[in-house]
Structure 1
Amino acid sequence: MYPHFQDAELENWHDFEVESRKEILSLLRGIGGKNQLIRMLIHGESDVCVTSILEVDDQLDTVYLDCSIDREQNKRILASRRLSFETTLDKVRILFAADRIEAATFEGNPAFKIAVPPTLIRLQRREYYRISTPVTNPVRVLIPLPEELGGSTTFPLADISCGGIAILDNKMILGDAIGRNYLDCKIDLPEIGQVATSLQIRNSLDLTLLNNKTNRRLGCEFVNISRGMLSYVQRYITKLERERNARIAGLG
């Protein structure tokens, strides 16, 4: 049902298939209401578009989605017979799929529309709570690389957990690095200290943004990280969580 999501990628997740239409509508509206970005994967291609839910119309059984500014990509999307979608809502990963997508307009602008999915998947990580790191002043990891790749290079983090980090390699420096180990990496955690650890690249995802730029996100697992270093990571996650809760309270 979800051809783009490999069993190996999901082996550490506890999955729930949601079949209640009321709950599906509620989840989709929650994703739209929080302006959560959604990865739209075009079946049969390594082609990813970042979209968002504009509206969920229960009466018309329709979900309206933002479209890309790339006309050629829009054509590929409309020609696709199967699309997979991935996003998160309140720390839970959400997957759904569509057999058909159509061109539409929403509030006078070009859009896509799909039928409300009959089922969707909620995936809750058993092991590690993952939290996004700051975007405006990003945390960086220094990865020692050979001279032919430019020597030691820093990469911004996208998120962090007690199991690893996700990094952004937008210049595609690391190439096809899945399974590769990088020794003696250093992560500078603001107000906490420097974490030294080895990293293994576990997964890679290229995202085509609405401005037609491509971002590469690499999921990295900590390898042989010491207890002391792990305590730094935990303290930093707690710090981020407190700051986020304070912002939410301030908005309430």
Structure 2
Amino acid sequence: MYPHFQDTALENWHDFEVESRKEIVSLLRGIGAKKQLIRMLIQGENDVCVTSILDVDEASSTVILDTSVDPGQHKRILSSSRLSFETSLDKVRILFAADAVSTATYGGHPAYRIAIPASLIRLQRREYYRIATPVSNPVRVLLRLPDDLGGPTSFPLADISCGGIAILDNKMVLGEAVGREYHDCRLELPEIGMVSTDLQVRNSLDLTLLNNKTNRRLGCEFINISRGNLAAVQRYITRLERERNARIAGLS
């Protein structure tokens, strides 16, 4: 139902699903009122537009969104058959999707129109809050693989949370790794230090990039992580949030 989100295989989506139209409208209006930025995922993590909710019209069952300033991205948005949205409200992560988007105007300016979603996901538990790690200088984790898989190998991270990490297996060396555990993994967090933990692969998602190459994202859960190492992860997440908020403030 929510194919593009980072935690695609998060267990029991229905545990967090909101289907009450009144509650959905209230949440969307709250996001708009607080001018929360929304990540619109056009083709997964590889094509992302930052937008915001301009209006929620319950009578016409539509949501009006700000447009992309990139002409090429604007065309891809309008031709997309599936869009995913990710934002937060009062530190609660909100996910929803739309099957189509059309053009509209709002206050005399171009805008997008989508239908009010029939349901959305509200993740209230802190451990499910994930934040993307840097792309240009990626954080890496060292997995101690057996010799037949190349021995110790480092992999770039896609995101991190207090519950685990998502790694990118660009060369598909791990195969069907869901359920497998890796012990004594080393995670080097910039300006924080080394974190040691065991990892269990909980989900796997193959992504088609814009150049038509395939990448594999593996969602991994921390296993037997110490309090000290978990505190280091939390400090790093806080640092990433601070940097992201500073960038957003600079754009506003």
TM bin, normalised by shorter chain, reads 0.5 to 0.7
2:188 is equivalent to residue 188 of structure 1: yes
The TM-score, its normalising length taken from structure 1, stands at 0.67
Unaligned runs of 5+ in 1: 41-47, 69-73, 106-112
What are the within-5 Å matches in structure 2 for residues 1-252 of structure 1? 2=1, 8-10=11-13, 14-17=16-19, 19=21, 34=38, 36-38=40-42, 67=76, 86-90=84-88, 92-96=93-97, 98=99, 116=115, 119-128=118-127, 129-252=129-252
For residues 33-92 of structure 1, give each alpha carbon's deviation from its aligned partner in whole angstroms, at most 9, with x where no partner exists: 85521457xxxxxxx9968699x9988979998659xxxxx9xx98xxxx7x54412362
Shift of 1:133: 1.1
**Residue 215 of structure 1 aligns to a residue in which SS?**
strand
**Cα distance change of structure 1 residues 51 and 206 upon mapping to structure 2, 3 Å threshold:** farther
Q: Which amino acid aligns with 2:221?
A: E
Distance across 2 between alignment mates of 1:236 and 1:61: 38
Q: Taking every aligned residue pair, what percent have the same amino acid on both sides? A: 50
How much does 1:218 deviate?
A: 1.0
Which deviates the most, 188-197 or 169-178? 169-178
| Residues 124 and 39 (structure 1), Cα distance of their counterparts in 2 relative to 1, 3 Å cut | farther
2:222 maps to a residue whose letter is: F
**Which whole-Å CA distance do the structure 2 matches of 1:249 and 1:118 have between them?**
29
Aligned-CA RMSD value: 4.1
Letter in 2 for 1:89: T
Does structure 2 retain, via aligned residues, the 8 Å contact 1:133–1:159?
yes
Amino acid in the other structure paired with 1:121: L
- For these two proteins, the number of residue pairs brought into alignment is 221
Structure 2 unpaired stretches of 5+: 68-73, 104-111
Maintained 8 Å contact 2:97/2:120:
yes
Q: Deviations over 1:188-222 (max 9, x none)?
A: 01111100100000111112233322221111100
Letter aligned with residue 95 of structure 1: F
Paired AA for residue 88 in structure 1: E
CA offsets, 1:221-242, max 9 Å, x none?
Answer: 0000011111111111122122
Query: Given the superposition, is the C-alpha separation of residues 93 and 150 from structure 1 closer, same or farther in structure 2, using an over 3 Å criterion?
Result: farther
Structure 2 residue matching 1:8: 3-state secondary structure = coil
Q: TM-score, normalised by structure 2?
A: 0.67
Greater RCO (Cα-Cα under 8 Å, separation 6 or more): 1
CA contact (8 A) 1:206 1:216 kept: yes
